A and B are shown apart, each in its own frame.
Chain A
Amino acid sequence: MKLDYLDQLESEAIHIMREVAGQFERPALLFSGGKDSITLVHLALKAFRPGKLPFPLVHIDTGHNFQEALDFRDNLAEQIGEKLIVRYVEDTIREKKLKEPTGRNATRNGLQTFTLLDTIEEFEFDACIGGARRDEEKARAKERVFSVRDEFGSWDPKRQRPELWNLYNGRIHKGENVRVFPISNWTELDVWNYIRREKIALPSIYFAHERELLIRDGKLMATAGGVIKPEADDQLVTRRVRFRTVGDISCTAASESQADTLDAVIDEIQATRISERGETRMDDQLSEAAMEDRKKGGYF
């Protein structure tokens, strides 16, 4: 008997989630309404049904999210009858008098970290499950499945715990927390193949649709909700696009696409010569170590 690789990856992810349930007092699952965290929710249901999920779903809302993703998030939480906690970056900015980045290409994405750390403190979460994958970015490729963070949420790549066989050590001191990545070993294509196989529903913005956009530095940025203010040299256009990742509007670019079905999307990803984050995420391209530096600061 030989398991297909998707079954192997699924089984590994379920095992990791159950380790979280078995080892921690107050875990949470970070859920944004994007394809990776939707996949996590699906895996969690497989891991714990017919019981309740042993953790709430938590979303750190930058206030700059796509409405389609937010609606999808709320509907899914309601449909499966699980608790959804939302905390807003907007509130943190107001309460802590944080300075918002301004100017061209300003993004609130970095401020998410403050709200995330406050939320961890508020609910005393000792483990946060996230949908990060090692194929996304070179700093992520270095991260363990159980990633221990100190009381400031900081990641120290030189002090990672050895992770052997399928034994995960989640013992921590009070105040520390563990970020857990059950789909570490999945690639973008694996996630899409799994979504197709399991018939998992996704927000509509993952599929080709007509949208008003502006072209900035060669990228197609959504004008949705007025998050990005058009400047004089920005060109406003209407194009048929889809989103390869669903992040903060201010730093997530769309790709021109005719792919309006799962099969078409998968064909497109198989044929592409540009990586997921390279194509869509402006925030990773600020410097050679942008992701690594954000993670050291407590980012996911």
Chain B
Amino acid sequence: MDLLRFITAGSVDDGKSTLIGRLLYDSKSILADQLEAIERASKSRDDGEIDLALLTDGLRSEREQGITIDVAYRYFQTPNRKFIIVDAPGHIQYTRNMVTGASNCQLAIVLVDARHGVVEQTRRHSLIASLLGIPHIVVAINKMDLVDYSQDVFSDICIHYAELAQKLNVHQVSYIPMSALNGDNVVDKSTAMTWYEGPTLLEHLETVTINDAVDGETEDHHPARFPVQYVIRPQTAELHDYRGYAGKITSGTFRKGDSITVLPSGETSTIDAIEIAEKQLDEAATPMSVVLHLATDVDISRGDLIVRSDSQPISSQNVEAMLCWMDTKEFKAGNKYVLQVGTARTRCSVREIAYQLNVNTYEETEGVESLKLNDLAKVVLRTAQPVSFDPYAQNRATGGAILIDETSNVTVGALMLTGESL
């Protein structure tokens, strides 16, 4: 059985929580006591109808305000696949939470209200999905019941969205007309939209091919990458010389006998053994957590990156990246932060904001002095030590990085590293 992580994005009133509730309810993933609890809560509110949105709003203040504040995770499964739903808030001030939720996903559901079509929020959510390299997008055209289940309305929105997708370089897009409130095309086929011949949302989720190297599947063209997390040295009499490098293969495949290079030092060696829980393997691939043993004694510690010598990443102190700024303090040139890539941390300073990206119009504005919470921009950083990475577009696992504020220790930025700056 495999695993699909997907995110749901939509604005406050697009019916996102209702969609998730419907998906769980119709796939019989809600247990009786949970249903009773929301029935009770629904009754104490207004019209006595079961409010499926109550399933997903887990915090007191969310229920009070009727909006989703933070990312939540839901789980369900069908006979062939397990699903992790990343339920991200759609509200504008929570863009950073959508970025958080999207970073690990292989699919994004972008909700569109059939009455309003493609709106600013749609453009923003699609941009984030595209920047974060989510391979599949499902455009869920919801509230079809409010436009008389009109095929023309559906077709117009599809055409409109396709133009957007082309601009964003997003290729795998599916369109599903639905009514989450009534359950049309979520799990069960709609009887009101016989003109639609495609799969229901659940059918699509169950059958879509997962081909992302972040989770689950390895593609041979992804280079082998192993950030060292921890060095295992028992130092007992019988294991006197045991020295294993513990970590997770974040990309590609390693085999016994491979020539490897350790970054940033550049020292080389050969893989002597690969272990999982003291069991020997001939090869191991993404996303396995393993222990590597090398043929020679090399100075390696946490933060180093082991790669196969025939496919080296970029190693540089001058890096360019797309940044999603996540803090209320301003980001500007000259500021210093801690940069974390894989298990490596180094200090960095901001050399330049190359341009700011307008999340609604996709226009690039140069000459911007500072960034505010939720701004997206292309930035240039100078690091204290060289950092090793792959461009994010080629490799999500080794191209993603975070910025940490040195005084508050908070994660303040998400970086998609794009290349070396000259």
Contacts and interface: CB of A to CB of B under 8 A. Distances in A.
Interface of B: 1-3, 31-34, 37, 41, 55, 57-61, 63, 69-75, 77, 82, 84, 96-97, 99-100, 103-104, 214-218, 229-230, 232-234, 239, 242, 246-248, 250, 253, 276-278, 285, 287-289, 302, 326, 338, 340, 342-343, 396-397, 400-402, 404, 409-411, 414
A172 B407 CA distance: 10
A1 B218 contact: yes
A50 B99 contact: no
30 contacts: A1-B285, A2-B217, A12-B287, A15-B289, A19-B229, A19-B343, A22-B343, A48-B230, A48-B246, A50-B232, A50-B242, A51-B232, A135-B74, A141-B72, A141-B73, A142-B58, A142-B71, A162-B402, A163-B100, A164-B400, A164-B411, A165-B396, A165-B397, A167-B340, A169-B340, A185-B75, A185-B84, A273-B31, A273-B32, A292-B59
Nearest to B302: A22
A8 interface: yes
Given A15-B248, A161-B411, A278-B31, A5 B72 contact: no
Interface in A163-177: 163-167, 169, 171-173
Contacts of B414: 162, 164
A164 B99 contact: yes
Contacts of B409: 169, 171-173
Contacts of B1: 4-5
A169 B214 CA distance: 19
Contacts of B37: 278, 288
Contacts of A273: 31-32
Contacts of A160: 70
Given A21-B230, A157-B59, 10 more contacts: A2-B2, A2-B218, A11-B248, A45-B277, A138-B58, A142-B70, A158-B70, A162-B326, A165-B397, A171-B404
Q: Give the bracket for the number of chain A residues in contact with chain B.
A: 35 or more
6 tightest CB-CB pairs across the interface, nearest first?
A138-B58, A278-B33, A14-B289, A171-B409, A46-B277, A18-B229
Nearest to A198: B277
Contacts of A163: 100, 411
A286 interface: no
B37 to A, nearest CB: 8
Contacts of A139: 58-59
Contact of B287 (A11, A45, A164, A189): A11
Interface string A272-291: 11110011000000001100
A84 B59 CA distance: 35
Contacts of B100: 162-164
Contact of B2 (A5, A22, A54): A5
Interface in A61-108: none
A19 B230 CA distance: 8
A180 interface: no
B99 A49 contact: no
